[in-house]
Amino acid sequence: MRALIVDDSRATRAVLRRLLHGLSFDGIAEAGDGRQALEELSANGPADVALVDWNMPVMDGLEFVSRVRSDTANDVMRIVMVTTEADADHMVSALEAGADEYAMKPFTAAVIRDKLALLGVV
């Protein structure tokens, strides 16, 4: 399984990378913003799952999700927003843009594992 972590926080990326590695993901790519993540997808094709922060410089998570979903080549990729945005309006916006699941920071390993299980990627 391949994963893409999109977050401007190195610490968050490290936590998610360790968690995904423990769940037997064999390819884990990282990006610090949505633009870098689109470049990663362009170079290597869609991952099985992307874990995406909302608030990032250059291109935020919502725009990234919208752009990913506008390309049918990425239809197989599942997207989990992992963000501090906790209100219902943000959740609805993310799901309408094409996110498959939504997890709030701070998160636990169990929450991420459960979201991935719901999506059938673990």
The one-letter code for the residue type at 4 is: L
Whole-model pTM? Answer: 0.96
Instruction: Tokens for 45, please give them.
Output: 């094709």
Residue with tokens 């979903």: 69
Tens-level pLDDT at each residue, the chain (122 residues): 999 999 999 999 999 999 999 999 999 999 999 999 999 999 999 999 999 999 999 999 999 999 999 999 999 999 999 999 999 999 999 999 999 999 999 999 999 999 999 999 99
What single DSSP character describes residue 73?
A: G
User: Residues 6 or more apart from 48 whose CB is under 8 A from it?
Assistant: 1, 2, 3, 25, 76, 77, 78, 121
Instruction: Tokens for 64, please give them.
Output: 């990234």
